[in-house]
Structure 1
Amino acid sequence: MTSPYDTISYDFILFDLDGTISDPIEGIGRSINYALEHFGYAPLDRAAQVPWIGPPLFHSFKAHTGVEDEAHIKALIAKYRERYGDVGYAENTIYPGIAEAVTALADSGVPLGLCTSKRADFAERILELFGLRQHFRFVDGGDIHIEKWEQMARLRERGLVSTRSLMIGDREFDMIAAHRNGLSAAGVLWGYGSREELSAHQPAHLLTQPAELMRFAGTSSP
């Protein structure tokens, strides 16, 4: 991994959303419990909600309930989205320094995109909430049965990103998706992934604070 003082540029930078740009635990946690309690399950405390930040909801609901019936899992997701789409998305809080870093990156000329497991319309609304949507050329969201590496593969197929692009995220899913598609990866330590989780996937960069994102300002390939 490079030192915090190295400067390196990529032809495109992809950002994760939850745990990277904003802290979603309040809205996600309350919406998880809204769905679980509706179907008779016990609510989760905050510590138990943390592992839900990152992976697709289908896997999380299935693992938690132990239910194999796909229709039931989809019903849980629909109930979750009912609350999340109403108020949960607005319960996000942006990490200190992120708005300034994203704005400065965009102003420097580096093209930015968003790749999140969250549904695209929810992600759009969150970026709008924080006044950041205009800095991203596209917002790519996930859905049921879609893995992040598959999302990224489609972005590559469409020519939107390349092996000279960088994925920035806080969980192992972001690192795996990047490396599986030939992109470089940067792990951030202000989100929900631990240093051990991220380091296990050998990211090109490991960042401790949003100000370090400025090392990627510029558009020349590495």
Structure 2
Amino acid sequence: MAQYEWLLFDLDGTLSDPAEGFVNCMNHALVFHDQAPRAADELTPYIGPPLEHTIGNLTGNTSDAFVSSMVGKYRERYGDTGYAENTLYPGVNQMLETLRESKNVRLGVCTSKRADFATRILEQFNLLPFFEFVSGGDVGIGKWQQLEKLLAENTISRNTLMIGDRHFDLNAAHKNQLKSAGVLWGYGSREELQEHQPAYLFAHPQEIGRQFCRA
């Protein structure tokens, strides 16, 4: 069994489900820009990628000015209430407790979400103490660049496993010659994840705890 020094977790779709806040904030931004609000089932497949990618794919408008304005309106509501419209996935707290008690691995968060928002979400669920750091993204910064920086600054080692629910997480790891793991309770399908050859594919958080907890 491969053993890692670091387990690096994505946030949205991996530790918590942001669907309610994402849908409400995206519709807030769409309506402000004279576009029709979208149904939840139309919006939730866009959870995971950086906001600028989501906005471009969702609206077909990729101009810098439009995307910047949409991001601003999205974050306007998100900073007030949207971040709290979030649900912790069952089993995540127990999984993190198991990993902490085992003392076999170090834990961090790497999310496309801005770091201050991610930190507030983790604090909301009392999860922040489990993690040694939170790496957040921003417009124009890819997750692979976040991992690249973490490696360059020796925050993490090459013996790191990136865990996420979308192919963006897996691709970011592979671009930095890191191993990856996919989770099936988020927003990426089994087919999407398997296509990118993760080292592990987990169906429940407790499987992560069992896999990396050694006496």
Q: Same fold (TM over 0.5)?
A: yes
Q: Percent identity?
A: 52
1:21-40 superposed matches below 5 A: 21-40=15-34
Confirm whether residue 105 of structure 1 aligns to residue 99 of structure 2.
yes
Shift in Å, 1:60: 1.2
Following the alignment from structure 1 to structure 2, what is the Cα–Cα distance between the partners of residues 198 and 115? 18
1:123 to 109, 112, 118: 118
Following the alignment from structure 1 to structure 2, what is the Cα–Cα distance between the partners of residues 156 and 217? 24
**How many residue pairs align between the two structures?**
213
Following the alignment from structure 1 to structure 2, what is the Cα–Cα distance between the partners of residues 218 and 46? 41
Following the alignment from structure 1 to structure 2, what is the Cα–Cα distance between the partners of residues 184 and 69? 35
Shift in Å, 1:39: 0.8
The AA in structure 2 aligned to 1:177 is: A
Please, what TM-score do these two structures have when normalized by structure 1?
A: 0.93
1:182 to 174, 177, 183: 177
Q: Could you list the runs of 4 or more consecutive aligned residues of structure 1 that deviate by over 3 angstroms after TM superposition?
A: none
Q: 1:38-66: CA deviations, max 9, x gaps? A: 11011111121122211001111122222
Q: Which residue of 2 is the match for residue 51 of structure 1? A: 45
Task: Provide the secondary structure at the position in 1 that maps to 2:162.
Answer: strand
- Contact 2:109–2:131 under 8 Å retained in 1: yes
Task: Provide the secondary structure at the position in 1 that maps to 2:73.
Answer: helix
Shift in Å, 1:163: 2.2
Following the alignment from structure 1 to structure 2, what is the Cα–Cα distance between the partners of residues 192 and 99? 19
Following the alignment from structure 2 to structure 1, what is the Cα–Cα distance between the partners of residues 100 and 146? 23
1:105-184 superposed matches below 5 A: 105-109=99-103, 110-184=105-179
1:71-90 superposed matches below 5 A: 71-90=65-84
Please, what TM-score do these two structures have when normalized by structure 2?
A: 0.96
User: Quick one: higher RCO (CA 8 Å, sep 6+), 1 or 2?
Assistant: 1
1:62 to 56, 61, 69: 56
Confirm whether residue 217 of structure 1 aligns to residue 213 of structure 2.
yes
Shift in Å, 1:140: 0.4
Across the aligned residues of Structure 1 and Structure 2, the Cα RMSD in angstroms comes to: 1.3
Q: 1:148-189: CA deviations, max 9, x gaps? A: 111111111111222211011000001001111111111000
Shift in Å, 1:108: 1.6
The AA in structure 2 aligned to 1:81 is: R
Confirm whether residue 17 of structure 1 aligns to residue 11 of structure 2.
yes
Q: 1:79-106: CA deviations, max 9, x gaps? A: 0001111111101100000011012212
Following the alignment from structure 2 to structure 1, what is the Cα–Cα distance between the partners of residues 57 and 43? 13
